[in-house]
Copies of this chain bind each other. A is one copy, B any other.
Amino acid sequence: MRFAARVEVRLRPGIADPESATIERALPALGFDDVGKLATGRSFRFEIEAESEARARERAEALATRLLANPVMEDAAVSVSPVESP
């Protein structure tokens, strides 16, 4: 069975995030003074071939923590769902 996985990699709380701070500082001058607490991250979507959803999740988490995120500075949030067959 094929599963669709989505991984969102974000900096851990407390890690300096100058990119987000810069965007946030620019927003009021650009007309978005109603926006705050901005945080940036990276997203990955992929498909996994696995015999069960639990196994697909395990593989997606292994990929996310071993290759996509830097565990010293980053957290990875993983979600997995079955791909509808065509």
- Residues of chain A whose beta carbon lies under 8 Å from any beta carbon of chain B: 8, 10, 23-24, 27, 30, 32, 34-50, 59, 63, 66-67
Q: How far is the CB of A77 from chain B (nearest CB, A)?
A: 10
Report A51 CB to chain B, min CB distance, Å: 10
For residue A12, give the distance in angstroms from its CB to the closest CB of chain B: 14
Q: Of B34, B41, B45, B50, which one neighbours A45 at CB under 8 angstroms?
A: B41
A47 to B44 Cα, complex, angstroms: 22
Is B38 a contact partner of A50 (Cβ separation < 8 A)? Answer: no
A42 touching B45 by the CB < 8 A rule?
no
Bound-state CA distance A57–B14 (Å) is 28
Whether A43 and B46, one on each chain, are in contact in the complex, defined by CB atoms closer than 8 angstroms, is no
